[in-house]
Amino acid sequence: MKVAISSHDGKLDTRFSSRFGRCDYFVLIDSESRDWEAKRNPAAEARGGAGPRAVQFVSEQGAGATITGRYGPNAFTALDAAGIQAFEADDGTPEQLIEKFLAGELKQVHVPTGPELH
């Protein structure tokens, strides 16, 4: 499964970004092959609706799961509609988080957990 992790700089070994809609990059990792790539988040500079726009982007990239700090209501609704699983983390780098994800150590969320930001 391809997993999209919010990131400040698109690197594997630096701390992830706890913001979802307006993170600068998504690190996309294949959980089987560990192949990965970083893509700029087109929603980072959105005038509004960054959450849904970011979900549309990771959905187009073929992600089946996302890892970030908190999910606002709009992002969560969009993830739910897109059938993308939402996971939360407090800390970690993308390479650490993918291992935690595979070990089943990350919390999957089923309701929005963060405020609506802009």
Query: How many Å is the maximal CA-CA distance in the chain?
Result: 37
> Between 67 and 84, whose beta carbon lies closer to another protein?
84
Q: Is 44 in the site for another protein (CB under 8 A)?
A: no
The continuous run of DSSP H or E covering 80 comes out as: helix 73-82
Q: Is 117 in the site for another protein (CB under 8 A)?
A: no
CB of residue 99 vs another protein: minimum separation in angstroms?
Answer: 28
Strand order in the sheet with 36-40: 36-40, 25-30, 2-7, 65-68, 85-88, 107-108
Q: Is 48 in the site for another protein (CB under 8 A)?
A: yes
| Interacting residues toward another protein by CB under 8 A | 43, 46-53, 55-56, 59, 74, 77-78, 81-83, 116
